[in-house]
Amino acid sequence: MKLSVFGRKFLRLVLHIDKHNKGYVDFYIGPKKLRKIVDNEAITSPSKLLTDCKALQKNLFKQGYDKKRERYLEKMLTAMRTSIEILNGVKLPFKEQFLRLYDVALQPANESELDNLKEEFNAAYGGLGSLEKRINDLRIQRTVPEGKVFELFKKALNITRERTKELFVNFLPQKERIVLELVKNNDEVKWAYYNWYLGNLCSRIEVNPNYNMYWTGLLAAATHEGYPGHHTEFIVKE
């Protein structure tokens, strides 16, 4: 992977933030040599990180990127700068912090829209007994036997992949792929599904049938972890 000077400085900054905030970098697929260099360096002070981030923000618009890429990197640098300012002890109002980190403007819920939810749930889950009992009874009916979870999730993933190709023509790279792995009887696995991006347009999705699985949730899980969810996001970024 050939990197510009700007790109190298960008990656170094992110990796140095990760040394302060473990897990800041979710999946690193850049040059291994650069990662090793940063891993062996001393932790950079938050004040130096802030100086480096400001320099990247200043030089971003001199790189000749197209407007969409430029805007994306601008948002990324804003989020990185906010994270660094927090490391420096800067106190920000919660809504401003959320906007700068995630580029989402928080809006209070309209509570009047929530008033009739119980009535709507009562109507949707007909039958006898309390609402809680009726929901639980239906959940039991929708439970997928453990032995069929892997097969049915794979089928759901194929459905969402084909639907994604229909909706976003020529969007998925030809060599992209997902490897499915069944994980069970593992106390360290605390999730029903999880996408691990491996790089080179490939993800590994873990399926854990130790959790109760419902057939009504299979397509939702496939769209979230695979198409057009995490896997698709990563391959497009790569």
151-177 pLDDT per residue, tens: 999 999 999 999 999 999 999 999 999
| Residue 228 shares a structural domain with residue 160 | yes
Q: Would residue 110 count as lying in a domain?
A: no
Q: Would residue 177 count as lying in a domain?
A: yes
End-to-end CA distance of the chain: 11
> Has residue 1 got a pLDDT over 70?
no
Q: Would residue 50 count as lying in a domain?
A: yes
| Residue 98 shares a structural domain with residue 11 | yes
Q: Would residue 220 count as lying in a domain?
A: yes
Q: Which of 211, 217, 205 is nearest to 191 (CA)?
A: 211
By CB atoms closer than 10 A (0-12, 13-18, 19+), residue 183 is: middle
> Has residue 186 got a pLDDT over 80?
no
Average pLDDT, the chain: 93
Binning pLDDT at 50, 70 and 90, where does residue 38 land?
very high
Tell me the residue range of the domain where 21 lies.
Answer: 5-102
| Residue 11 shares a structural domain with residue 94 | yes
- When divided into structural domains, the chain yields a total of 2
Please tell me whether residue 123 adopts helix, strand or coil conformation: helix
- Asked if residues 238 and 201 have their Cβ atoms less than 8 Å apart, the reply is yes
| Residue 89 shares a structural domain with residue 160 | no
pTM over 0.85: no
Please tell me whether residue 21 adopts helix, strand or coil conformation: coil
| Residue 87 shares a structural domain with residue 153 | no
Average pLDDT of span 180-206: 88
Q: Would residue 130 count as lying in a domain?
A: no
Lowest mean pLDDT among 45-49, 52-56, 214-218, 227-231: 214-218
